[in-house]
Structure 1
Amino acid sequence: MTNVYSFEGILVFSLLVVCTCAYMRRVPRLKQWFLSEKKGFLGVFYKASVIGTRLHIPVALSCLLMGFYILVLR
């Protein structure tokens, strides 16, 4: 179990948010409902979805590396 207050926990949490928002951007009903705001608190999720879709290869590689680190090296 990763601790949210550690640097590893923050990295895992941010990767999960980016991957989840990028997935939600591909689902039309969720995109209209959840990712319509571009400012404020919900704007963070919109920006995470943009990062996830534009940088999908580095995000996927970092998810694989983080998973390998947590499962094998830690």
Structure 2
Amino acid sequence: MTNVYSFDGILVFGLLFICTCAYLKKVPRLNSWLLSEKKGVWGVFYKAAVIGTRLHIAVAISCLAMAFYVVFLK
């Protein structure tokens, strides 16, 4: 179980947040509702979705590396 207050817990949360927002960007109804704002608090979802779609290879490799770390090394 990963602790949210540890550094690796924050990394896991960040990666899952980016992956979730990138997935939600592909769903038309949720894209217009959740990711329409580009500024403010709701803009964080939009920015995470942009990071997830533009850097999808780096995010995927980071997810695999973090999964390996959590399952085997921790």
Shared topology, TM-score over 0.5?
Answer: yes
Identical amino acids, percent of aligned pairs? 72
Amino acid at match of 2:70: I
TM-align CA RMSD: 0.5
Structure with more of its chain in helix, by fraction: 1
Partner deviation per Cα, 1:9-40 (whole Å, 9 max, x = no partner): 10000000000000000111110010001011
Partner deviation per Cα, 1:37-66 (whole Å, 9 max, x = no partner): 101111001000000000000000000000
Separation of aligned partners in 2, 1:39 and 1:4: 26
Task: Tell me what 1:34 maps to.
Answer: 34
Q: Which runs of 4+ in 1 moved over 3 A?
A: none
